[in-house]
Amino acid sequence: MNADILIQYLPLYRDALYLTWKIGWLGIALAFLLGVWCAVMCHLHVPILARLSRIYIEVFRNTPLLVQLFFLYFALPKLGLRVSAQVCGVLGLGLLGGAYMAESLRSGLESVAPIQTESALSLGMTREAAFFHVILPQAVSVSVPGLVANVIFLLKETSVFSTISLMDLMFTAKDLIGMYAKTIECLFLLVVFYLIMLLPVSVLGSFIERKVRHAEFGD
pLDDT tens by residue, 128-186: 777 777 777 777 777 888 888 889 889 888 888 888 878 888 888 888 888 877 788 88
Instruction: Give me the pLDDT at residue 95, please.
Output: 92
Separation of alpha carbons 92 and 83, rounded Å: 12
Cα–Cα distance, 91 to 112 (Å, whole number): 31
- Domain holding 140: CATH number? 1.10.3720.10
How confident is the model at residue 76, as a pLDDT?
83
pLDDT of amino acid 213: 66
pLDDT of 30 over the 90 cut: yes
Please state, as a whole number, how many other Cβ atoms lie within 10 Å of the Cβ of residue 5: 17
User: How far is residue 203's CA from residue 205's CA, in Å, rounded to a whole number?
Assistant: 5
Q: Answer whether residue 29 shows pLDDT above 90.
A: yes
CA distance 171 to 167: 5
Confidence bin at 28 (pLDDT 50/70/90):
very high
Output b/e per residue, 16-31; b: 16+ Cβ within 10 A: bbebbbebbbbbbebb
**Is pLDDT of 216 > 80?**
no
CA–CA dist 99, 34 (Å, integer): 8
Greatest extent of the chain over all pairs of C-alpha atoms, in Å: 71
Containing domain of residue 155, as a range? 3-217
The amino acid at residue 57 is I
What stretches of 112-168 show up as alpha helix (H) in DSSP? Answer: 114-122, 127-130, 136-157
Q: What DSSP character marks residue 112?
A: S
Total of domains in the chain: 1
Of 100, 105, 97, 91, residue with least CA distance to 36: 105
Q: How much is the CA Rg of the chain, to the nearest whole Å? A: 21
pLDDT by residue (tens digit) across 53-73? 899 999 998 888 888 888 888
C-alpha span between 32 and 128 (Å, rounded): 20
pLDDT at 93 over 80: yes
Distance of CA 112 to CAs 117, 150, 158, 167, Å?
9, 21, 33, 43
**pLDDT(109) > 60:** yes
pLDDT greater than 80 at residue 209: no
In single-letter form, the type of residue at position 206 comes to: S
Q: By CB neighbour count within 10 A (0-12 exposed, 13-18 middle, 19+ buried), where does 189 fall?
A: buried
Contact of 72 with 92, CB cutoff 8 Å: yes
Q: Counting Cβ atoms within 10 Å, is residue 175 exposed (0-12), middle (13-18) or buried (19+)?
A: middle
Q: For position 33, what pLDDT does the model report?
A: 92
